[in-house]
Amino acid sequence: MYQVEDATQLSENVYQIWVNAPQVARHARAGQFLIIRVDETGERIPLTISATKGDSVRVIYMAVGKTTELLATKKKGDVLADIVGPLGTPSEIKNYGTVVVIGGGVGIASTPIIAREAKEAGNHVIGIIGARNKDLLILEDEMEEVCDELFITTDDGSKGVHGFASTVLEGLLKERTIDCVWIVGPAIMMKVTSRVTIPYKVKTFVSLNPIMVDGTGMCGSCRVTVGGETKFACVDGPEFDAHQVDFDSLMQRQRMYTDEEKEAREHFHHHDHHGGCGCCGGKH
C-alpha cells in the first residue's frame, strides 16, 4: 500500500498528489513515469513523475475518466493499491547549449523536472507553458524558478502571449540558435508544435502517451510507429524524436476504448462502491 501524503487541486480538473513510494522517488529521472493502480479493482494508469522529495513522488493529472476521477477523491492519509516505477527511459539530457522546454495544459506537469536537469547539465533553459486560459496554467512559479527565461501563452489571451506555444517557439527559432526542444502535452499539440522545428533541423523530443497496461514491454499495447519502426513507448520511450513519430496512428490508438471509457464513467457515477461481480474466483 502506498500512502497519500498530500493532495490538492491545482485548477479546474487538474490535481496534484504526493505519494510515499520510496523505490520510485529514489531513482526517478526527468522524462520517466510511474503506473498507479488506485484500488483492487482498478486499472493500471501511467502518470509522469513530476517531482520527488525524499521518499515521495508527485504526479499531476487531469480528471478525464473513471480512474483519474477516483484518484481525485483521495486525500492525505488515504492509500493507493499499487505504484510501480520509475518506468521508461529518462530524457536524453546533456549540454546542448540553449534548450526550450514546452508544456501544454496538464503536460506542464512534466516540465519542471526536465528544465531542472537541463539546467544542471549546463544549458540555457527557456520555458514555454501554455493553456487554454489563465486559470488552467499550472506550475508557473516552479518554472519561473528553474528556467532562465519563461514565456506564458493562453489561447484566449487572458495571460501572457495570446496564442499557442508554437507561435512563441517559431519566434525564438527565428531570432536565435536553439539546440534542442522538448514538447509535452496532448498529442495534437505535440504534433503541431513539433512541426515548427522541422525547417530549422532542431532536435525535438516529444513524450508520447499511448494506452498502456504493464509498462514493462510485455503486452505491446503502447506500440507506436517511430521512423517507420514499431517501438514500445513504455520501454523505448516515452520520449521520442518528434520528427519521426506517426502522430495520427498514436491518436487513433488513444481512442480505442472510447465507448468502454464512457461506460466505466457512467458505472462509476451510478455505483458508489464496487459490488464485485463474483465471477472471478479467488478473493475478488
76 or 257: CB nearest ligand FES: 257
The item of ligand FAD, ligand FES, another protein, none sharing an interface with residue 109, based on CB under 5 to 8 Å by kind, is ligand FAD
End-to-end CA distance of the chain: 17
Contact (CB, 8 A) for 74 and 80 = yes
Q: Is 222 a binder of ligand FES (CB under 6 A)?
A: yes
Nearer Cβ to ligand FAD (161/213): 213
Q: Confirm or reject binding of residue 264 to ligand FES (CB under 6 A).
A: no
Establish if 123 lies at the interface with ligand FAD (CB under 6 A): no
Least spacing, CB of residue 221 vs ligand FES, in Å? 5
Residue 34 binds to ligand FES (criterion: CB under 6 A): no
* The one among 234, 242, 245, 250 contacting ligand FES by CB under 6 A: 234
Among 133, 213, 241, 244, binds another protein (CB under 8 A): 213
- For residue 79, state whether it binds another protein (rule: CB under 8 A): no
Among 149, 219, 230, 284, binds ligand FES (CB under 6 A): 219
Does 232 bind ligand FES (CB under 6 A)? Our answer is yes
Cβ proximity of 109 and 137 under 8 Å: no
Q: Which of residues 3-62 bind ligand FAD (CB under 6 A)?
A: 33, 43, 45-48, 59-62
Residue 279 binding partner per list ligand FES, ligand FAD, another protein, none, with a CB distance cut-off of 5 to 8 Å that depends on partner kind: another protein
Residue 219 annotated as part of some ligand binding site: yes
Residue 125 burial by Cβ neighbours in a 10 Å radius (0-12, 13-18, 19+) = buried
Please tell me whether residue 185 binds ligand FAD under the rule CB under 6 A.
no
How many residues make up the chain in this entry?
A: 284
How far, in Å, CA of 254 to CA of 222, rounded? Answer: 9
CB of 86 to ligand FES, least distance (A): 15
Q: Is 158 in the site for ligand FES (CB under 6 A)?
A: no
* Binding-site residue set for [2Fe-2S] cluster: 219, 222, 234
Chain residues that interact with another protein, rule: CB under 8 A? 23-24, 27, 32, 37, 41-44, 66-67, 81-87, 213-221, 223, 225, 230, 235, 249, 252-253, 255-257, 260-261, 263-264, 267-268, 274-277, 279-284
